[in-house]
Structure 1
Amino acid sequence: MTATTPQPPSNPPPDGRQTQRPTSGDASPFSTASSEEKATNDARSKEPGEIEILDWHDPSDPANPINYSTTKKWLITGAALFGTLIIPLNGTSITVAHEQLDGAFNVNESSFPHSYWAVTSWSVGGAVFIVVGLPLLEDLGVRLGYLIFYAFFLLMIIPQALAQNFATLIITRFFSGGCVTLLANTVAGIIPDIWSGDRARSVPVSLYILCYLMGSTLGPPMFAGVIQHIGNWRWIFYIQLILYGACLPFFYLTISETRADVILRRRAKRLRKSNPGRRIYTRAELAQTSLLSTLGRSVYRPVYLLATEPVLIASTIWSAFSFGTVFLFTQSTEQVYIALYGWNVWSTGYIQAAIVVGEILGFLTSFLSTKLYFASTPRNTEAPGRPIPEARLYVSIFGSFAGIAGGMFVYAWTAYPSLPWIAPTIGLGMVGFGIQTVVSAVADYIEDAYAVSGYAASAISGVAAGENIVAAFLPLATQRMYTSLGFQWASSLLGFVAVVLSFAPVVFVWKGRELRGRSPFMRSGGQTYASEIKS
Structure 2
Amino acid sequence: MVFARGDVSGHDDQALGMNHLHSGDDCGRKLTSAQEHHTSASDITVVSWDGDKDPGNPYNWSPKQKWTLTAVAAFTTFITMMNGTIITVAHEAINEEFNISDASFPHSYWPVTSWAVGGSVSSLLILPLMEDFGVRWVFLITYVAFLCFIIPQALAQNFATLIVTRFFAGGCVSILANTSATVIGNVWETEKARNIPVSLYIVTYLAGSSIGPVIGAPIYHYLSWRWIGYLQLIWCGALLPMYYFMFKECRGTAILGQRAKALREDGVRAYSQHEIDSEGNSMLMIVVRSATRPIILFFTESVVFVSTLWSGFTVGTLYLFTQSVEQVFTGLYGWTPAQAGYVQAAIVIGEILGWVGTLFSGKLYFTSASRNTEVPGTPIPEARLYLAIVGGMFGLSGGMFTYAWTSYPSLPWIAPAVGLAMVGAGGVIVVTGISDYVVDAYSKYAASAVGIMVAGENTFSGFLPLAAMSLYSTLGFNWASTVLAFISFGLSLAPILFVIWGKEIRARSPFMKEATMEKRTESIDSV
Scaled to the shorter chain, the TM-score interval is: over 0.9
The one-letter amino acid paired with 1:269 is K
Distance 2:359 2:77 in 1: 21
Pairing of 1:6-25 with structure 2 (within 5 A): 12-15=11-14, 19-21=26-28
Q: Which residue of 1 aligns with 2:424?
A: 432
Q: After superposition, what is the alpha-carbon deviation per residue over 1:390-445, rounded to whole angstroms, capped at 9, x for unaligned? A: 10111111110011101111111111111111111111111111101001111100
The one-letter amino acid paired with 1:435 is G
1:250 counterpart (242, 249, 253):
242
**Corresponding position: 1:215 with 2:208:** yes
Q: Which residue of 1 aligns with 2:255?
A: 263
Q: Which residue of 1 aligns with 2:481?
A: 491
TM-score normalised per structure 1: 0.91
**Corresponding position: 1:459 with 2:466:** no
Q: Which residue of 2 aligns with 1:388?
A: 380
Distance 2:11 2:102 in 1: 52
**Corresponding position: 1:146 with 2:139:** yes
TM-score normalised per structure 2: 0.92
**Aligned length in residues:** 506
The one-letter amino acid paired with 1:493 is V
Tell me whether 190-199 or 152-161 shows the greater mean CA deviation. Answer: 190-199
TM-aligned CA distance change 1:310 to 1:290, over 3 Å: same
Q: Which residue of 1 aligns with 2:523?
A: none
Contact kept in structure 2, 1:154 and 1:245, CA below 8 Å:
yes
Instruction: State the SS of the aligned residue for 1:281.
Output: strand
Q: After superposition, what is the alpha-carbon deviation per residue over 1:208-241, rounded to whole angstroms, capped at 9, x for unaligned? A: 01111110111000110012112x1000000000
TM-aligned CA distance change 1:411 to 1:7, over 3 Å: farther
Pairing of 1:153-164 with structure 2 (within 5 A): 153-164=146-157
Q: Structure 2 unaligned segments of length 5 or more: list them.
A: 16-22, 518-527
Contact kept in structure 2, 1:324 and 1:471, CA below 8 Å:
yes
How far off its partner does 1:62 sit? 1.4
The one-letter amino acid paired with 1:87 is T
Q: After superposition, what is the alpha-carbon deviation per residue over 1:312-332, rounded to whole angstroms, capped at 9, x for unaligned? A: 000110011111111100100
Distance 2:387 2:471 in 1: 31
Q: Which residue of 2 aligns with 1:73?
A: 66
**Corresponding position: 1:345 with 2:337:** yes
Q: Which residue of 2 aligns with 1:4?
A: 4
Q: Which residue of 1 aligns with 2:522?
A: none
Distance 1:353 1:83 in 2: 20
How far off its partner does 1:109 sit? 0.7
Q: Which residue of 1 aligns with 2:496?
A: 506
How far off its partner does 1:512 sit? 1.3
Distance 1:81 1:140 in 2: 21
1:204 counterpart (194, 197, 200):
197
2:57 counterpart (64, 67, 74):
64
Distance 1:445 1:524 in 2: 15
Q: After superposition, what is the alpha-carbon deviation per residue over 1:164-211, rounded to whole angstroms, capped at 9, x for unaligned? A: 000001001001001101101222211121111111111111100111
Distance 1:180 1:5 in 2: 13
How far off its partner does 1:335 sit? 0.7
Q: After superposition, what is the alpha-carbon deviation per residue over 1:475-516, rounded to whole angstroms, capped at 9, x for unaligned? A: 000101111111111110001101100102211111111111
Contact kept in structure 1, 2:213 and 2:341, CA below 8 Å:
yes
Contact kept in structure 2, 1:373 and 1:391, CA below 8 Å:
yes
The one-letter amino acid paired with 1:150 is Y
Contact kept in structure 1, 2:2 and 2:315, CA below 8 Å:
no
Tell me whether 385-394 or 281-290 shows the greater mean CA deviation. Answer: 281-290
Pairing of 1:253-292 with structure 2 (within 5 A): 253-275=245-267, 278-288=268-278, 289-292=281-284
TM-aligned CA distance change 1:5 to 1:376, over 3 Å: farther
Contact kept in structure 2, 1:3 and 1:443, CA below 8 Å:
no
Contact kept in structure 2, 1:334 and 1:348, CA below 8 Å:
yes
**Corresponding position: 1:86 with 2:76:** no
How far off its partner does 1:12 sit? 4.3
Contact kept in structure 2, 1:3 and 1:185, CA below 8 Å:
no
Distance 2:320 2:418 in 1: 17
Instruction: State the SS of the aligned residue for 1:79.
Output: helix
Q: Structure 1 unaligned segments of length 5 or more: list them.
A: 26-34, 528-535
**Corresponding position: 1:469 with 2:434:** no
Instruction: State the SS of the aligned residue for 1:180.
Output: helix
Contact kept in structure 2, 1:77 and 1:190, CA below 8 Å:
yes
How far off its partner does 1:160 sit? 0.8
Q: Which residue of 2 aligns with 1:170?
A: 163
How far off its partner does 1:51 sit? 2.6
The one-letter amino acid paired with 2:269 is R
Contact kept in structure 2, 1:22 and 1:64, CA below 8 Å:
no
Q: Which residue of 2 aligns with 1:186?
A: 179
How far off its partner does 1:308 sit? 0.9
